[in-house]
């Protein structure tokens, strides 16, 4: 026969479960806990007439209820079936009315052929307060992983890392610095390349502007130049007048001028 702890080990799937029950106008909260000694169920009534009930199963109760399922595999299957029914909300509070006091029961697996019933006994005011305080303490501890938020959200931030000793902290800072250097160098190279590209583009634009100005000046010179330039060309091609040599012919400067001698006639009186 398995020991008590072996029997309860199969009920680990029922630990830290919580579910709501809406029955008529009443609203209940059910909390399931399991350890190596017992399986415990707490049922709380919400509202102005709030109360707590409690029911427990130890290894002896489990063997009695699951007599025909005493093997390890059968006990595991039985506990898993209870956990699935709990999660699916297949729960019902029996022997309950708003004026009821004392014992009630909780049914788990309302849609199955063989539902399980747990007897619940009402807690005293002091026990109810103690249990409520313990539950709120557990909720507060779990909220620390959510940055102390009562309810988890989709934007829950990860918990801050634990503080490191000075030696580890300085080593981690050095590692982060070394990891950041390649990125900084890459950014500097990208910035330098971008600056060089801007300078080259500016120089190309200036050169293009100079070419445009020269083309404009050349076009103007071609339009206004022929009249003045042709006169310059003509003046250059016409040779300067050669001064006439003394005694040269005016008609042909290369020859000497002809000399004409005056004719003399004799006087008729002689």
User: Does 233 score more than 50 pLDDT?
Assistant: no
Bridge partners, residue 23, by sequence: 26
Query: What pLDDT does 27 receive?
Result: 96
Query: What pLDDT does 14 receive?
Result: 96
Mean pLDDT, to the nearest integer, of 90-105? 89
Q: What would the pLDDT profile of 166-215 be if each residue is shown by its tens digit?
A: 655 566 677 777 777 776 766 766 666 666 667 777 877 887 888 788 88
Cα–Cα distances in angstroms (integers) from residue 238 to residues 21, 166, 232, 235, in the given order: 125, 102, 10, 6
**90-99, 131-140, 252-261: which has the minimum mean pLDDT?**
252-261
| Residue written as token pair 């006990």 | 75
Assigned CATH topology for domain 4-146: Dna Repair Protein Xrcc4; Chain: A, domain 1 (2.170.210)
Mean pLDDT of the chain: 80
Sign of the Cα torsion 6, 7, 8, 11 reads: positive
Distance between start and end Cα atoms, the chain: 202
Mean pLDDT, to the nearest integer, of 73-93? 94
Selected residue with higher pLDDT from 69 and 51: 51
Nearest-angstrom CA–CA distance, 147 and 161: 12
Biggest distance spanned by C-alpha atoms of the chain: 204
Q: Three-class SS of residue 128?
A: helix
Cα–Cα distances in angstroms (integers) from residue 254 to residues 237, 243, 249, 259, 261, in the given order: 22, 11, 7, 16, 22
Q: pTM surpassing 0.75?
A: no
Continuous segment of H or E residues that includes residue 3: none
Contact call for residues 86 and 17 (beta carbons, < 8 A): yes
Please enumerate in sequence order all residues whose Cβ is within 8 A of that of 6, keeping only pairs 6 or more positions apart, or say none. 72
Domain spans of the chain? 4-146
Mean pLDDT, to the nearest integer, of 238-254? 58
Single out the residue of 21, 18, 55, 14 nearest to residue 138, CA to CA.
Answer: 18
Mean pLDDT, to the nearest integer, of 56-78? 83
User: Does 2 score more than 90 pLDDT?
Assistant: no
Nearest-angstrom CA–CA distance, 6 and 76: 11
Share of the chain above pLDDT 90, in %: 41
120 C-beta neighbours (distance < 10 Å), count: 24
């Amino acid at each position: 026969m398995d020991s008590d702890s072996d029997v309860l080990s199969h009920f680990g799937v029922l630990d830290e479960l919580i579910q709501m029950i809406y029955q008529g106008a009443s609203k209940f909260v059910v909390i399931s806990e399991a350890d190596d000694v017992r399986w415990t169920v707490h049922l709380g009534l919400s509202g102005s007439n709030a109360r707590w009930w409690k029911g427990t199963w130890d290894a002896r109760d489990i063997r009695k209820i699951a007599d025909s399922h005493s093997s390890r595999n059968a006990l595991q299957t039985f506990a898993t079936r209870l956990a699935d029914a709990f999660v699916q909300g297949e729960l019902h509070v029996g022997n309950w009315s708003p004026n009821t006091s004392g014992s009630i029961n909780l049914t788990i697996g309302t849609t199955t052929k063989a539902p399980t019933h747990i007897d619940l006994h009402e807690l005293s005011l002091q026990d109810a307060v103690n249990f409520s305080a313990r539950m709120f303490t557990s909720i507060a501890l779990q909220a620390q992983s959510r940055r102390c938020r009562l309810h988890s959200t989709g934007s829950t931030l990860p918990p801050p890392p634990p503080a490191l000793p000075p030696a580890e902290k300085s080593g981690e800072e050095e590692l982060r610095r070394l990891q950041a250097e390649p990125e900084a160098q890459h950014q500097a190279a990208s910035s330098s390349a971008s600056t060089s590209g801007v300078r080259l583009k500016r120089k190309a634009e200036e050169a293009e502007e100079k070419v445009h100005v020269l083309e404009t000046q050349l076009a103007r010179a071609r339009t206004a130049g022929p009249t003045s330039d042709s006169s310059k060309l003509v003046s250059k091609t016409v040779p300067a007048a050669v001064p006439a040599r003394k005694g040269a012919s005016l008609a042909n400067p290369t020859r000497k001028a002809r000399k004409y001698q005056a004719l003399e006639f004799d006087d008729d009186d002689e």
